[in-house]
Amino acid sequence: MDPIVKFVRRNSDELRRGGKTIREVFDIIFWNEGNIMAEKPAPAGIVSVTYGEAKKRIARAAGNISARLGRKGEFIGLWGENSVEWLVGFWAILKSGNKPYLINLMQPVSFTEDILRTLGADTVIHTGKAPKLSASLVSLESLETGQSDPVPPEVFGDEIALTTSGTTLKEKICIYSGREITEQILNCDSIIDLNPDIKAFYHGRLKMLMFLPLYHIFGLEAAYLWFAFGNITFVFLPSYSPEAIMHTIRRCEVTHIFAVPLFWHTIEKAVLREVKAKGDKTYEKFLKGLDLSEKLQTAFPKLGKRIAARLLKEVRQEVFGDSVIFCITGGSHIRSSALRLVNCLGYSLYNGYGMSELGITSVELSMRIKDRLKGSIGKPFESIEYRLKDDGSLLVKGSSVCKKVIVDGLECEANEWFDTGDVMHRDADGRYYIDGRMSDVVISDNGENLNPDVVEMALDIPGASAYTVLGDERNEKLILIVSMPRTLLDAQREKLARDTEESVSHLPSGCRISRVYYTYDPLMEEGGIKISREYVRRRLASGAIELFDSVGEAGGSVGSIDTEIKAILVKLFADVLDIKEEDVRPDAHFMNELGGSSLDYFTLIGEIDKRFDVKLSFGEDDFAYTLNDFAAILEKLIKEL
C-alpha cells in the first residue's frame, strides 16, 4: 500500500474510533512532529517550520490565553492573513478551551463588529497590524512570549465560526462542531481512491500553496484540513502579487494549487499574452500544441499528460514549472477556455463545489481529461446527498453540513435539506453541473427565463477589468456592465468597445443583452474573489457605480495615441530613474545620457508591460533605448491588438 494512503487510512480509522472531536483532529495532525509543516521563500532562502515547532508555539499561546485573558468556552475572534502565525492562533484558541471566529478581512468593519456582538466575543487575537475594532485586541506575538510555558487547560474547544463571503449582504454565521469537521475530513478516504493524483509527490514532497484565505470555507477545509490530515507541507506567500505567486510556486516546488476562477482566468490571460508576443507563427503552433495535448490525454490519460508536458515545456516553465500536479477551482464559474488551457498544459485542474453553510461537498475527480473539460462539479462526497427540486435548484444534506446557522442575529431552524439556491442539472453518469443562481434568473416580459450565468460564460472580453450580466431595474431584461481601467488609452478603450460589441453579437438568441454599460468603478469589493450581483445592485442604487452608455461618454485622455503614450512614458522613465520629468528628453539614450543601469532598464520594461498590458520583446535590430523608440514600438503593438 502507498505510504501516504496507509498514513491517511490509519488516521481515518483513529478518527472513526474516537468521539469525532476537533481535539482528536489536532492530535492526529501534530502527531508526526518532525515533518515540515510550512515553508515561505525569503531573500536568504526558504524559511521552514516543523509540526513540532508549531505545536510548541500553540501550547504556549494557548496557556497564555487561559492565564492572561481568563477566557474559557467563549468565542474569540481571529484576525490575520494566511501565515504560520494564523494557524498558531487558530489552534491556540481551541487548545485554550475556546472557540475561534475566523474573521473575514474582506468584510466591512461594521459587519465584523455586529458578528462579534452576536457571538458574545469581546476579544480578538490578531497577527500583524492591529485592526480597528472596538473589541479587546491581543497580538499573537504577545501570547507567544514569556519566561515559561503556561499549562493549557485540559478542555479543548469544539466549535468554529465563520461567515459567508458577504455577497448575500446578510449577517450570516456558520458554526461547525468537531463532528461535522471530522466527517468532512473523512471524505478523503474515498477521494484518494478515486483520484491518485491528489496524493502525488514531486521529488518526495507534497506541498499545498496557501493561496485561498483560511477564513473561507474553501481555504480552511479543502486547502488546509484535508491536507494537514496527511501531515504535508503548506507553502505561504510573501505577497499576493502575480510575480510573487509564480516565483513561490517554482522556487518551493508547489505540487497542489486550489484557487478561485479569477486566479485561473488571470493565468490564461498571461499565458496567451506571452505567447502572442512571440509572433503569429508561435501562437498558431501553441494552439496546435494544445489541440494535440487534448487528443493525447484523451487517448492515453497518463502517458498523454507526460508527453504534453514535454511538448509544451517552454510555456510550462513560464507558468508553474514541472512540480504542479493537482489543482482545484471553485467558488464561481470558470471559463471553459481557462479550464482547457490549464489542463492541456498538463496541470490537471478539477472543478469543485461548496458553500460556507455546507463545507466542500463535491469535486470532479475523473482522471480523464474529457470529463474535466465538461466543467462538472462531480458527484457528492460520501458524507453528502444531493437532490434536485422541480425547478432545478440543488438541495443538500449530510453529516458534514454545519450544525448551526445564525442569520441577522437569529438562529435558523435547521431543515433536513438545505436549499442552496443554485440551479443545476445532472447527467446520465451522475455528475452535476451548475447552471446559475435561482435569485439571478430574469423573467422576460414574454415569460422566458434568462440565466445571467449562462450568458456570462458565453462572453469573452479580454480588455475588461471585469464584467457582469444581470437583470435591469424591472428584472425583465438582461444588461451587461463592463468595468474598465481608468488608465486605458483612447485606442485601447475603443478596442474594448469593439470586442464587447463583437462578443455580444455572437450570443445565442436566447441570451439577448438589451443594454451595454461601461464603468470605471470596480464590480466587487477590494480583495474579493467573485462578483456578487446583489452587491453590484446595491452599489448601483447608492450611486457608487457610475454607468456610461459608451466608452466615448466615459471620457478619458485626449490627443493622438502618440501623444498619450509619450506622456505616460515620461512618467515611467522619471520614476524608474528617479529624475524630474522635464529631464526626460524624447531622444535621450536611457543609459548613455539618462544614466540608467541594466537593472533600471529591465525594471522599466516590466513597468511598461504592466501599464500598457503588453509583453515587450526585442529582436537584434529593434532594441529600444530612447523614449521615442519605446513609443514607436508601443503604438504599433496597441494598433495590432
d(CA 158, CA 94): 7
* Grid cell digits, residue 298: 484523451
* DSSP-H helix ranges across 155-198: 178-186, 188-194
Domains identified in the chain and CATH numbers: 3-195 (3.40.50.980), 198-216+238-300+307-399+415-439 (3.40.50.12780), 441-542 (3.30.300.30), 561-640 (1.10.1200.10)
Q: Tell me which residue of 78, 77, 175 sits closest to 121, measured CA to CA.
A: 77
Contact 353, 432 (CB under 8 A): yes
Taking the C-alpha atoms of residue 11 and residue 3, their distance in angstroms, rounded to an integer, is 12
Q: Is the pLDDT of residue 171 over 70?
A: yes
How crowded is the C-beta side of 262, counted as CA atoms within 13 Å? Answer: 13
The percent of residues above 90 in pLDDT, for the chain, comes to 56
User: What letter would DSSP give residue 205?
Assistant: B
- Between CA 568 and CA 308 the distance in angstroms is 41
User: What is the end-to-end Cα distance of the chain in Å, rounded?
Assistant: 54
pLDDT, residue 530, reads 77
The helix/strand/coil state of 246 is helix
Amino acid code (one letter) for 597: S
Euclidean distance between CA atoms 618 and 595, whole angstroms: 21
Query: What is the reported pLDDT for 618?
Result: 67
Beta bridge partners of 49: 38
List the grid coordinates of 417: 435539506
Q: What are phi and psi of 292, to 5 degrees?
A: -65, -40
Residue with cell string 512570549 = 145
CA 152 from centre of chain: 35
Nearest to 186 by CA among 358, 42, 363, 400: 400
The predicted pLDDT at position 477 comes to 85
Cα–Cα distance, 343 to 347 (Å, whole number): 5
Q: Please report the pLDDT score of residue 74 as a whole number.
A: 95
Q: Is the pLDDT of residue 281 over 60?
A: yes
36-42: strand order across its sheet: 45-50, 36-42, 233-235, 207-209, 256-259, 326-329, 348-355, 359-363, 379-380
Cell of 114: 455586529
Q: For 602-618, what is each residue's pLDDT tens digit?
A: 889 888 988 888 888 76
Burial class (CB in 10 A: 0-12, 13-18, 19+), 222: buried
Give the model's confidence band at 24: pLDDT under 50 very low, under 70 low, under 90 confident, else very high.
very high
Tell me the pLDDT band of 29, cut-offs 50, 70 and 90: very high
DSSP E strand stretches across 237-331 = 256-259, 326-329
Averaged confidence pLDDT in the chain: 89
Look at residue 229 and tell me whether its pLDDT is greater than 70: yes
Nearest to 297 by CA among 233, 236, 390, 370: 370
Phi, psi of 258 (to 5 degrees): -110, 125
Per-residue pLDDT for 165 more than 70?
no
Structure confidence by residue, pLDDT tens digits, 366-423: 999 999 999 999 999 999 999 999 989 999 999 999 989 998 888 887 778 999 999 9
* 1, pLDDT greater than 70: no
Pairing of strands 233-235, 207-209: parallel
- The residue that leads in pLDDT, 113 or 473, is 113
Q: Compute φ and ψ for 558, nearest 5 degrees.
A: -125, 135
Q: How far apart are alpha carbons 246 and 320 in whole angstroms?
A: 6
Q: Which residues contact 104 (CB under 8 A, 6 or more apart)?
A: 112, 162, 163, 165, 166, 213, 215, 216
Cβ neighbors of 280 (< 8 A, separation 6 or more) are none
Distance between CA atoms of residues 50 and 35, nearest Å = 6
According to the model, what pLDDT value does residue 214 have?
Answer: 96
Q: Residue 483: which pLDDT band, with cuts at 50, 70 and 90?
A: very high
Read off the pLDDT of residues 287-344 as tens digits, 9 standing for 90 and up. 999 999 999 999 998 898 999 899 999 999 999 999 999 999 998 888 899 999 999 9
552 has pLDDT over 60: yes
Q: Provide the whole-model pTM.
A: 0.83
From residue 128, how far is each of 44, 142, 464 by CA, in Å? 22, 11, 34
Is the pLDDT higher at 2 or at 291? 291
Distance in angstroms (rounded) separating the CA atoms of residues 190 and 188: 6
How is residue 210 written as a grid cell?
496557501
Element (H, E) at 492: helix 490-505
* Segment 476-493 mean pLDDT: 87
Cell of 510: 436566447
Set of cell numbers at residue 250? 517554482
| 466-471: strand order across its sheet | 466-471, 478-483, 515-519
DSSP 198: G
Contacts (Cβ under 8 Å, ≥6 apart) of 496: 461, 463, 464, 482, 484, 488, 551
Q: How confident is the model at residue 492 (pLDDT cuts 50, 70, 90)?
A: confident
Mean pLDDT of 33-44: 94
117 pLDDT more than 70: yes
Residue 556 pLDDT exceeds 80: no
Q: How confident is the model at residue 447 (pLDDT cuts 50, 70, 90)?
A: low
Q: What are phi and psi of 30, to 5 degrees?
A: -100, 20
Could you tell me how far CA 312 lies from the centroid of its own chain?
Answer: 25
493 Cβ contact partners less than 8 Å away, ≥ 6 residues apart: 484, 551, 554, 556
For 249-268, the pLDDT digits (tens) are: 999 999 999 999 989 988 99
Using CA atoms of 416, 115, 179, 38 in order, give the dihedral in degrees to the nearest 10: 130
Label residue 567 by pLDDT band (50, 70, 90). Answer: confident
Could you give the angle at the alpha carbon of 472 between the alpha carbons of 467 and 474, nearest 5°? Answer: 160
